[in-house]
Each structure stands twice: as C-alpha cells, then as structure tokens.
Structure 1
Amino acid sequence: MDTFLDFEECIRDSPVFRQSLDKCESDVAELESRVEKVMKLCAQMVEAGQNYTSCNQLFLSGLAEFTAYHKSDGVIVNCLRQFNQGLQEMIQFQTMLFDQTQRAITQQLTNLLSQFLPQIRDTRREFVRIGEDLEAAVVKNAQVSRHKPADAERATHLLLATRKCYQHFALDYCLQLNNFKVQQKLDILNSVFSYFHAQNTFFHQGFDLLRDLEPTMKTMASQLSQLSSDCSAKRKDLENTHLLVQQRDASGEAVIVCNPSDGGTIQGYLFKRSRKKNKTWKRCWFYTENNQLIYSKSHKEPPVVLFDDLRLCAVKSLDVIDRRFCFELLSVQKCCVLQADSEELKGAWINAVQGCINIAYRDQVTEQNTQVKENSAPAAIPDPPPHPPALGVALRGNGNQRCCDCGEAEPRWASVNLGITMCIECSGIHRSLGVHLSKVRSLTLDSWEPEQLKLLCVLGNEVINGIYERKPADGLQKPSADSPRQDKEQWIRFKYVEKRFVTRDPDGPDAETVKLRAGGRLYQASLSGDLVAMATALAEGAEVNWSNPEQEGRTALIGSAIGGSLSACEFLLQNGANVNHRDQHGQGALHAAATYGHTGQVCLLLKRGANQYAADEKGNDPLSIAIETAHADIVTLLRMARMNEEMRDSEGFFGSVGDDETFQDIFRDFSNMASHDPEKLSRRQFLRGSEDEEEKN
C-alpha cells in the first residue's frame, strides 16, 4: 500500500512531513531515471529489431535470387516462391510489432513524464522560494522589539501572509506529487500491458499464418521426398554412366562423335592450316550440320562456316606434306587442309564427309519439301503465365481486384467467411480480429474448395461494402492504400467488430427484437439460397445458430439443407454454424439433406463432421431416411462413409492415419459434381426388393 503525503501534516510543516516529502521526491527522481532507462533500452531494442527486419528483407532478396537461378526447375521455384511469400508476411508482422512496441512503451511513458514532471518541478521551485521567504519572515518577526508596536504589527501581518502563501503552494505541491504516484501505476501497467498485447497479437498472427501454410508444407514435404528419391536415382545413374564411359572410352585416344544414322554427321577436334603465308596450324572444333562444315576456334567465339555446301566439295587424303594424318577438302572457290590425331580418325573424317556429300545429293528434293513445310508452319506462341487457379477465380468477383478495406491493387489474401479479398497489411489486421469474425487465407499459398471460391465471386468486395459501409459515419474517412496502419485498423474494427456503418432496422423497438427479426430474415434467405440477404442479416445482428421457433426450432443451416443451396450451406458453416444442431423433432441438417435428396449438402456436411448416426424422435438416422426416400446416391455416400469409419476404427490407434482412398475418390467425385454440374445428381429410384436383398446380404 503506497504512503501518500498527508495534507494536514503539510499545513503543520512538521518534521514528519518534511521526511515524507524528501522520500517522495527521491522516489519521483528514482522513478524518472528508471523510466528513462526503460525508454532508452526500448529505443535500442526497436532499432535493433528494425535492423533485423532490414537484414531479414535482404535475406529474402537472396532467396528470391535463388528462385531466379532455378527458374527452369518448377519444384524449386514453387517451393521458394511460397516460402518467400510467407516470410514476407512474417516481416510485415514484425514491423507491426516494433511499431506497436514503440507506441506502447516510449510514447506512453513519455506522456507520463511530460504530463507531470515539468509542472512538479515548477511548483517545487515556487515551494522552495516561498519557504525561504517564510523562514525570513519568521526570523524578522522574532527580532522585532516589544517597544515598537508598529514594527511588530507589520512583521506579524507579513508573517501571516507569507505563511498562508506557503501553505497554498505546499498543498498544491503535495497534491501534484500524490497525483503522480497514483497515475504512474496506471500508465506503467497500461504501457507494459499494451506491449504484451502487441506480443500476443504477433505470435497469434504467426501461428495462424503457419497453420494456413500447413497444407503447403505437406505438399512441399512430399515434393521434397520425391525430389530426394529422384536425386538418389539420378546420382546412381550418373555414377553408372561415368563408370561405363570410363571403362569404354577413357583410353587416352582422341574422341569424335560420328552418327551414321543422321546423314553421317561428325564432330571433333582437328588442326586447320592457315591459308596465309606463314601456314600456321590451329586446333579447332569441327562438325557437320545441314550439309555444311562448321568450326569454332574457341567456345567464346561464334562458329564459322568453312564450306556452306558440301555437295560442291571433294575430300581426299593428303600424303605429300610433312605432317601426318592430313586430308584436304576442295571446292571451286577454295581448299582447306585439316589434320586428325590418328590414322583411324582421319579415315573416319574422310568417310563421314563423303557420306554427307552422298546423302545431300540423294535427299535434296525430300529435304527441300520438308523445309518448306516446316517454314510454312505457324510459330507457337507461348501462353502467358496464368494466375494461380484460386487467385484467378477470386479476382472475377465485383470489386475483388482491389483490397476491400483500403483499395490497394492486386490483393493476394481473402476472408473466406466474409467473401472479400484484401491486401497483406489488412489481412494481418483481420487475423487479429479472431477467426470468429474473419477467416483469412492466402489466394496463392492455400488450397480452396469450389464452393469457397463461389462465395468470393457471388459476394465479393462490392457487395460486402454495400452492406458494411452502407451508412458512413460523419467525419470518418475510409483509409487508402497509403494510410497509416492504425487508421486501417480503426476502420476495420469499426466496420466489422462494431458494425458502425451497417444500416439498422428502424422499426426495431429494442436490440432483442432486431436480433429476432434479423434471425428470421437469415432463415428465409438460407432457405432460398440468397447469399447477399444472408450476409446482410448477419451484419444486422442475426445469430447464425438461432433456433427459429416458427420453424420448429430449425437453424439457418437446416434451412439451407432443405432449400438445397450448396453455397448457402458453405457460407453458414464458414460463419460458425453448428453442423450437428437438431430441431424439435431431433432432425439436423444432415437429416434434412437426406430427406430432400440434396447430395451436395450430404457431401459437405459429412466433410464438416456431421454425425451420421444421430437419430430423430422416430429413431431414424440419415441413412434410414435416404433408404426410405429412395435417394440412391445419398444411400451410397452414407454407406461408404459409415464403412470407411468402421474400417478406420478397426485399425486401432496405430492403424492407417488417412481415410480409405476409394472412399475419398468417390467422395471427391460427388463433391465436384455437386459444385460444377449439379443437374447430373438427379434422384434415382431403386426397387424395394433390391433394397431388401441388399439388406440381407
């Protein structure tokens, strides 16, 4: 319990008060020095963190250079690109953390010191000055002679006035010190709490990001495993090839490549004699191609055509000069002397060149026709690199080409339950709201189901802004892409948490009535599959799991299962609908989907954890309802799901982790057909006799 300065002791100016005052002043001085030390250390920490962020950004630039270096390898490029995007978002989170830390520690503590200490110092100076005046007045009053009544009266009046002024300043000084002691606790605790809240938000955002990246990391792990196997196999193949070539060709003899099946083409090193007067010899790489003899002086220089038409040449051995293994090529314009490294290589070159000449004469017409056909064929124009599939679909929605909250171009993130796209900074703010308000996913890193993408197309930024920004608040302007983060955060919280800009029902007498009316509208919209009306009802206060008493306690999810809208069902599940809620008759959404023959809803509800064994008041579970109503596809699905679950349970704790592959394939086919081609899922009847026979088997 803190000890405050006693105002009555202050009036008396007792030694106890002076002792308490000295201790309080020393406490204030010590607190000031410690606060300044904390602020200095915080500034150093933030500066070091900003340097770390800059170095981290340089490191990611290095990873991006890796991506450019391995641009021909799709696996490495995809892995590095996805990791780079995730790490870029982590840097954004770290930058936000340092900014919030600086605001929480430095700004709040600076406000504490600047608000109280200057005024306390000024008041203390006046307090000390008046105290000195009081001391002088007391001494003067004591020294006046009793025989001088006029002087005594003046001294007494001066003493009273000075003491009264001193008491006022002393009381003000004590009040300021006591207020500072009270306020400093609040400000210091609030500062530390704000810092811890920033840390909590940072780790929460990082956890959500890594959780969203888990499917990508699993895909990368499988790719890495496959790449490791391919690498081992390739290394083994290279070692075998190396050993084979070493045993076959590494004999010290010169190597040439001759391919008789390709028109006698040949390539290898030869010495070429210069036609200048000095007759120097230079070793060059020669090869035949397209009825031409071409050579390269070095790998750094472009190749040179020595003879552009071998049909006009003759080749023969040259034995009249001093150098060995020489042969000569002659044409009408020029001749050239070449030298091989051995007699065998010379013979191979002569035979290969002569073979090229013979084949060129024989296949001249065929080659010309083939060349004409090839030249007349249109050149293939490579397709431009497409967007990732989810991103390409999401950007088709109205207004989805820009961030829903700040308008930044090319958003790469989306809220699956709100049906909007957003930039990376706004996505971090949405994550801090909690998944009960906004479920943020990446349009490039995460996998998306067809119905989730439909929500982004049917709703989209334009529709949602028409609901959540229908009634702008006076004096509050929507942030832009360049606005500070705190402005964006304030706008998003006003928009989605407090729903300040949503048009309220003017006829609702109280909040409960408004909520009930919104719940009724949500149920009717779910029944008809009107996503816009459903989003509007939720924005106006409808509870997603509200039981409609006028509809026998059914929720909106059960209504969507009755109505048959797969998108409505997905929208409600994404917004927290209870998949296993049951009405007054014990029937849930899965019972309704089985009753009305909606195969797509059955797939979706099973996928979201609906209890397929739940029985209604008559003892009927969804499978028995599907058999009774003769919906063959749903019977197949439910039986397969039940069989798969029983097989998985029979394997025990250490059994297979994944579901049966056959069941997953059938389940995926039904889901895709329900999403993309629902008319194919027509209700199929089958005979009661075949049912009975199947039940017996």
Structure 2
Amino acid sequence: MDSLLDFEECIRDSPAFRASLDQCEGGVSELEGRVEKVMKLCNRMVEAGQAYNTSNQQFLAGLAEFSSYHKRDGVMMNCLRQFGEGLQEMVHFHTMLFDQTQRAITQQLTNLLSHFLPQIKEARKEFVRIGEDLETAAAKSAQMSKNKPTDAERASHLLLATRKCYQHFALDYCLQLNNFKVQQKLDILNSVFSYFHAQYTFFHQGYDLLRDFEPTMKTMAAQLAQLSRDCVAKRKDLENTHLLVQQRDASGEPVVASNPSDGGTIQGYLFKRSRRKNKTWKRCWFSTENNQLVYTKSHKEEPMVLFDDLRLCAVKSLDSIDRRFCFELVSVQKCCALQADSEELRQAWMNAVQSSIDMAYREKDVSQLPQPKENSAPIQRVDPQPRQPPSRPAILGVALRGPGNRRCCDCGEEEPRWASVNLGITMCIECSGIHRSLGVHISKVRSLTLDSWEPEQLKLLCMLGNDAINSIFEECGSEDSIKKPTSDSTRQEKEAWIKDKYMEKRFVRRIASSQPEGVRHDAGCRLYQAALQGDLFSLATALAQGAEVNWSHPEEEGRTALIAAAIGGSLLACEFLLQNGANVNHRDQRGQGSLHAAATRGHTGQVCLLLKRGANQYAADEKGNDPLSIAMEMAQADIVTLLRMARMNEEMKDSEGFFGSMGDDETFQDIFQDFSNMASHDPDKLARRQFSRSKNEEGERSSLMSEQPDDEGET
C-alpha cells in the first residue's frame, strides 16, 4: 500500500510533510482525471451497446417479418421462430449486461468521487486559509518590540491560538486524504470486479441457453440435411424437365388429361372472334371443365363461361374464312369461331371438345341417382389427400394446465414460456434469467417452446405446478419489508425475492428440533416415506425443509429415497428425485441400488427411466446378481428386453456424430421412447403378473414379491 501522510509530520509542518502533501494532492488530482476518463469511456461503451441492442431488435423484427413470407412452410416457420426466440433472449442478456456495467463502473466510481472529493476540497480550502492566517500571526508576533510587553503578549497568544487551529485543520485535511487513498483502491477494485462478474453472468447465461437449445439444434440440423438432399433432388428434376421441354418442339402443344374419365380435358391459348366485330380476334386462355367451355382474357380477370353446357353444342371445322386453323362451336343460342396456332392443335381441340360432349351425354344426372334411405349411412366424400393424424398437444399447452402454471410462479406475469424442471414451476423470461444465475443445483431452467421435454418431465410439471410449490416455499409468508414482486417490479426486487425464496428458503416452515442431527434425521425419514408412497408434495416439502436427497436410512438397510421410490413404483417420484440430484447408482448395505429394486418388483417404467438417467446395469449385489439376472429369475419379460437392448446399444455405440455422441441405435431409442410414453400416460399397460419356477424359490422371494400375485396362466 502507498505511504500515507504522517500525522506527526503534519503537526511539525516540516518540508518533508509539505512535499508529501503536494505529492498526495497531485495524485488525487490525477486519479480524479483518470476516473472521469474511465467513466466517460464506459458511458460511451454502454451507449454503443444500447445502439447495438436497438439494431439487434430491428434485425429480429425484420427476421420475424421475413419469416411470415414462409408462413405456408411449417419447417421454415418453426426454425425461424425458434431461432428468433433464442436471439431475443440473447438481446435481453445483452441489455442486462449493459445495465450492470453502468451500475458497476459509472455509479460506483461516481459515488467514490462525490463522497470524498467535495470534503477534501472543502478541507483544503480551510487548510490554506488558516495557513495564511498562521503566517500573518507569526510575522506580526516576530515584529513586536520587547519594549511593549502587553502587545507582545497579545501577539504571542494570537499566534498560539492560530497555530492550534492550523494543526486541527491540517490533521483533518490529512485524515481526508488518507481515507481517500485507502478507500479508492477498494472502490476501484470492487467496481472492476462487479463488471467482471456481470460479464461472467452474461456468458454463463448464454452457455446455459445454448446448451438448452442443443436438442433443437440437432433436430434442425437433421431437417437441414434432409432439406439439402431434397433441394439437390429437386434441382436435378428441374434440370431434367427443363432439358426435355427444351428439346421438345415449342409448338404450344396443349396439355390433355391422360385419364379417360376426364373426358378429354384440354387447356391452352386460342384466338376468339368478336361477335360484334367479325374482323377483331383476341387471344384468350381456354379450358374445358365441368361440362363447360370457359376462357379468360388475362390472369387479372376472373374466368368467364362461353358455353355453360357442352351437350347443347356441336363442333365443326370452319374453312369458309381466310384465317387458317379455325373451328366453330355452335349451339341453339349462339356460335363462336375459334382459331388455333396449328393444324395439329386445331384437331386436338376439336377432338377434346367432342370427347367432352360425348362424356357429358354418357354421365347420369345426379338427381337420377338413388337417394339413401333414412337409416342408411350417408355417402362419404373422399378427400383428394389423406388427412393427417391429429398431433399431440403442444408442450406449452400441456405445461400450462398445471395448477397456477398460467402465471409466473414468482412475479405473476401471464403466459410464462419457461419452466424449472427440478422445481416443477413455470416462469417468465426475466425470472428465468434470475433462476439461471442461481445455479443448476437450485433450478434447472428450460424453455417450453424451444426445448424438447420427456414425458415424465412434462407430467412432473403438471402434477406439481406453481400453486403447490408456492404453498411450500411461501408457507410462512414474507416480512413486511420484503414483499412479493409483481410483473411491474424491477429486476433487483425480483432477484432479491427469488434468492430469499429458493436459496435462503426464508419463507419455508422450519422443523422444530433441539439438535441439528435430529432435524436431519426427521427430514430424511419424511423424504424416505414420501418417496415410498409416491407423494410428490411431501417430497418437495421435505427437500425444501433441508432433507438431503442422498441420505441413507439407517433403519432401512441404508436405502436412499430413490431406492424407496423404485420400491414403491412411483415413476414421478423417481424423476423428481433424479432432477434434484439423487445418486442413481447408490447401493444399500446389501449392494442393491434403485435399478435392482425396480427390476425385483417388476416396475418397467422405473427401469426405463433409471437406464436413461445412467444407472449401472452391471452392478452386482452381495449375492452376485445384477439387475438382468434378477429380472430373468423373476420372469420379467419387458424388463429383460429393456436391459438386453441397453447392453446391445452400449456395445454398438458410435462416438462420432454431428453434435457429439449420436451413435445410439434408433430401434433402441424408439423402444425406450415407447416405454417412456407408456409409463407416463398408460402405466396399466406395463403391469405384469409374475410366476416362479418352483415353490421353494417362491418361498425365498415372498418378501420381495408380496405385492405381485402369481398366476401360471398369465405372464
């Protein structure tokens, strides 16, 4: 640390003190100039960043407007929309970064200058003034004659009083300078550290966002690869078609329907003679459709019917005029002369019109068809294209069905688009950014529109919901000084509330116990019983009250809550514990883990979930039995299939892929997805009754299979 002004030297007012004082004053002045320069540059950087954000917002608005051009293309619209939402959140992160930068640099350094410099300047002003008074008093005292003792004594007293006052102001001025020198380092380093922490939070939020966006990127990459292949194939097809058309005689050959049932439908350009002016011919587009001859003069005009019933017409060649390739349509009411571009086209038109006339006579009138009887089924119209099967409800729509999920759990903003997987709540975009800063050990934030959700995760969000979680984390209410924020509250107010609510757990009802170990044991027992019974609300309450998710129950052979959930058969309890940090491979005193327990009791859904979450299927208990051997002994056909498929998949994995390890067998993934959907939506379909090979084996395993009755006739 730099040397400070010596108070003893200040009292003596030595030249060394004056030199140190001049150096210190110069340092303060130099520091003030440099701090003002840094603040000016910071403001300039923030202004440039805000202009960058404004340009980004305009670009995103243009991108959204551009995406509407492809509104008929579902793939393009979905990709552009998801990219737009991700970029919009990045712009929001930039805005928060610039706000925190301005607070960290400008406000803190401004506080440093505004707090100390005015006091230092005022103290220096008084120090200089009293110093001049001291010089005057000293000179006056020195000039007094010794023959005037009264005046000399008065001058001496004035000099003494002035010197004491000078020493007082000098010491005060030195104290102000020393305090500034001590404080300025702390404030400057704190300012830079706050700015660096803002940068760290910004990049951490961006990393979490891109990590959550990775499944969507994989899907888009597959769609892009397919689109590239389709584009190449389409371009080749267009080039071949272009070559064929280029090689064909450009005689304007019309397109005649190849299907005979169309009755010789034809379309193309013909010259039509005006009925009022015989020498006026105009080129129009003609076509035969629905037993009519229609034409249009321009693509901007609606088609007009020339003959509304071809059955009343006759077509014949017109050779009595000077123009070539003419033919005539004649009806009872009118006739019309038409001209083709060649003799071949004239014959094609005449044949097509005559075929349309013949087909119209052969068709029966609709009114002559037999009408359906009163009790008979009505005639069904066949759509030209097959109907698409109804799609499953969107993730957002399903998630918002949970109790209280239509408003942000923390500020109450409507229509939230983000959720916490491990807490089971929905939130707005601003609260989601705050949740991300808490860390994934507290809240795992995912998007309801950008990310893919597994069935058990989505069902967990619906079964818990904002109302249930708020009744736990806000049970005791807040203090008068801490009010729950609203959607209009500032980010600082929301951040303080969320940290108090989830990190400090200030509003959770505490467990009354005299010993900390007693609190830990009681909370662990409640967590274990809730997991065994599959009670999600009690599970969330126990974890909020401080229960350790991997606590081993001493009276239950060292089993954890996850093993209890696997024994009880609750898929959602297993998922909730895994999302909150449960060790999937913890084993009890007999060497059995959650996968052993699920395989023993025939819970197929739990086995599927635990395998997806990384359970070790090769772990053996104290008797040397792994989950596969247990499932085979218990005749669990579905579980044996799952475990064998998992082992085969591990052997066939290919570590290289577009985004890393994407070498899992597609059949394996499809089977696991089917089991996962069934376990989440139709768990009864996975129920299997067990049978034993002998009565002796049944007696040995009666304690493990008491809830599964034997049935020889059903497997």
- Give yes or no for contact 1:673–1:681 (8 Å, CA) kept in 2: no
Question: Aligned partners of 2:256, 2:618: CA distance in 1, in Å?
Answer: 74
Match of 1:485 in 2: 491
User: For the aligned residues, what is the CA RMSD?
Assistant: 3.0
Question: Aligned partners of 2:295, 2:662: CA distance in 1, in Å?
Answer: 63
Deviation string 1:599-619 (CA, Å, 9 cap, x unpaired) is: 222222222222222233333
Match of 1:695 in 2: none
1:466 aligns with 2:464: no
Question: Aligned partners of 1:537, 1:339: CA distance in 2, in Å?
Answer: 90
Pick closer, same or farther for the CA change 1:332–1:630 going to 2, 3 Å. Answer: closer
- Give yes or no for contact 1:590–1:605 (8 Å, CA) kept in 2: yes
Question: Aligned partners of 1:85, 1:140: CA distance in 2, in Å?
Answer: 82
Question: Aligned partners of 1:636, 1:288: CA distance in 2, in Å?
Answer: 62
Match of 1:565 in 2: 570
Q: Larger deviation: 465-474 or 660-669?
A: 660-669
Question: Aligned partners of 1:323, 1:585: CA distance in 2, in Å?
Answer: 104
Pick closer, same or farther for the CA change 1:386–1:489 going to 2, 3 Å. Answer: farther
1:441 aligns with 2:460: no
Question: Aligned partners of 2:27, 2:370: CA distance in 1, in Å?
Answer: 98
1:683 aligns with 2:689: yes
Structure 1: where are the runs of 5+ without partners?
692-697
- How far apart are residue 201 of structure 1 and its match? 0.9
Pick closer, same or farther for the CA change 1:277–1:674 going to 2, 3 Å. Answer: closer
Deviation string 1:185-236 (CA, Å, 9 cap, x unpaired) is: 1111111111111111111111111111111111111111111111111111
* Counterpart secondary structure, 2:433: helix
- How far apart are residue 597 of structure 1 and its match? 2.7
Question: Aligned partners of 1:539, 1:609: CA distance in 2, in Å?
Answer: 26
Report 1:366-405 matches (<5 A): 366=366, 389-405=394-410
- How far apart are residue 28 of structure 1 and its match? 0.9
- Give yes or no for contact 1:405–1:426 (8 Å, CA) kept in 2: yes
Match of 2:299 in 1: 299
Match of 1:128 in 2: 128
Report 1:159-170 matches (<5 A): 159-170=159-170
Pick closer, same or farther for the CA change 1:444–1:176 going to 2, 3 Å. Answer: same
- How far apart are residue 502 of structure 1 and its match? 0.8
- How far apart are residue 572 of structure 1 and its match? 0.5
* Counterpart secondary structure, 1:269: strand
Deviation string 1:476-504 (CA, Å, 9 cap, x unpaired) is: 12111222111111111111001111111
Deviation string 1:393-429 (CA, Å, 9 cap, x unpaired) is: 2111100111111111111111110001111111111
- How far apart are residue 675 of structure 1 and its match? 2.7
Q: Larger deviation: 434-443 or 389-398?
A: 389-398
User: Quick one: which of 516, 519, 522 aligns to 1:517?
Assistant: 522
- Give yes or no for contact 2:459–2:680 (8 Å, CA) kept in 1: no
- Give yes or no for contact 2:403–2:468 (8 Å, CA) kept in 1: yes
Pick closer, same or farther for the CA change 1:119–1:369 going to 2, 3 Å. Answer: farther
Scaled by the length of structure 2, the TM-score of the pair is 0.89
- How far apart are residue 275 of structure 1 and its match? 3.5
- How far apart are residue 558 of structure 1 and its match? 1.4
- How far apart are residue 514 of structure 1 and its match? 2.3
Question: Aligned partners of 1:354, 1:642: CA distance in 2, in Å?
Answer: 71
- Give yes or no for contact 1:403–1:411 (8 Å, CA) kept in 2: yes
Q: One-letter code of the match for 1:487?
A: E
Match of 2:508 in 1: 502
Match of 1:254 in 2: 252
Q: One-letter code of the match for 1:146?
A: K
1:410 aligns with 2:408: no
- Give yes or no for contact 2:530–2:539 (8 Å, CA) kept in 1: yes
Question: Aligned partners of 1:303, 1:165: CA distance in 2, in Å?
Answer: 107
- How far apart are residue 385 of structure 1 and its match? 10
Question: Aligned partners of 2:280, 2:575: CA distance in 1, in Å?
Answer: 83
1:35 aligns with 2:40: no
Scaled by the length of structure 1, the TM-score of the pair is 0.91
Deviation string 1:522-550 (CA, Å, 9 cap, x unpaired) is: 11111111110010011111111112223
1:226 aligns with 2:231: no
Structure 2: where are the runs of 5+ without partners?
698-715
- Give yes or no for contact 1:632–1:685 (8 Å, CA) kept in 2: no
- How far apart are residue 327 of structure 1 and its match? 2.9
* Counterpart secondary structure, 1:92: helix
Question: Aligned partners of 2:370, 2:501: CA distance in 1, in Å?
Answer: 68
Match of 2:357 in 1: 357
Q: One-letter code of the match for 2:408?
A: C
- How far apart are residue 553 of structure 1 and its match? 1.9
Q: Larger deviation: 181-190 or 258-267?
A: 258-267
- Give yes or no for contact 1:270–1:341 (8 Å, CA) kept in 2: yes
- How far apart are residue 269 of structure 1 and its match? 1.4
Pick closer, same or farther for the CA change 1:407–1:92 going to 2, 3 Å. Answer: same
Q: One-letter code of the match for 1:539?
A: A
Deviation string 1:586-636 (CA, Å, 9 cap, x unpaired) is: 222222223333222222222222222223333333334334444443344
Q: One-letter code of the match for 1:599?
A: T
Deviation string 1:153-174 (CA, Å, 9 cap, x unpaired) is: 2222222222222111111111
User: Quick one: which of 584, 587, 593 aligns to 1:582?
Assistant: 587
- How far apart are residue 354 of structure 1 and its match? 3.1
Match of 2:702 in 1: none
- How far apart are residue 439 of structure 1 and its match? 0.7
Q: One-letter code of the match for 1:363?
A: E
Pick closer, same or farther for the CA change 1:672–1:374 going to 2, 3 Å. Answer: closer
1:74 aligns with 2:79: no
Q: One-letter code of the match for 1:670?
A: F
Question: Aligned partners of 1:317, 1:484: CA distance in 2, in Å?
Answer: 85
1:340 aligns with 2:340: yes
